Structure 1
Amino acid sequence: MRYENLDVWKKSVNLSCSIYLLMKNNRDFGFKDQICRSAVSVASNIAEGYERIHRKETINFLSIAKGSIGELKTQIIIGSKIGYISEASHLIQECEAIARMLGSLIKKLRQD
């Protein structure tokens, strides 16, 4: 299967784009860089995992992507608390949905 056909990859790309647009005018370059890097890391690690030859490598990169979505969720919560991100609940729900999807995908690949 191509990673471009995975719903989890599509959702991750869309979330990353949302974060980039949301942070576009933010002047706190340290925070902006960190949250954007973790956002782009999710879809990137899914893609890298699916381009690997061995299933064990694929699972490893999906696990990294799952860690990155947790990092992103934390940064969204922090950004909300310090006033950088309004309406964070939708973004948090997206992170949680992606985390669940990654967990299910990892579990399925381990069973096959």
Structure 2
Amino acid sequence: MLLALLLCYGGFTALCLSMDRHHAELLGRKPSTRRRQLMTLAGWLLLALSLWAAVAATGWGLGLVEWCAVLMLSALLLVLLLPYRPRLALSLAGVSLLVSPVALFAQY
């Protein structure tokens, strides 16, 4: 479940960075069209990988329920951090993507 949480948070942050307002707030400039498309694709890919991680860990029955819980938790964390600590939100996304291979090996 930790792997799914890390991937969900990274995915939601990538989707957040694909928006002009959040990208400018976090990185200081507006994203190009190509960067916006890449961030959108990366965000959806990370969310799909998080679904795979949740289902692979506990099966379809419980995996989907855990994935929904992880989706809500990671979105809530991002929504609470963005207005008050935007740099921390961005840093946590980077750390979550760096730690996710470790969580993958720990799962198996």
Report the TM-score range of the alignment, normalised by the length of the smaller protein. Answer: 0.3 to 0.5
TM-score, structure 1 as length reference: 0.43
Which of the pair is proportionally richer in helix?
2
Greater relative contact order, per chain length (Cα 8 Å cut-off, separation 6+): 2
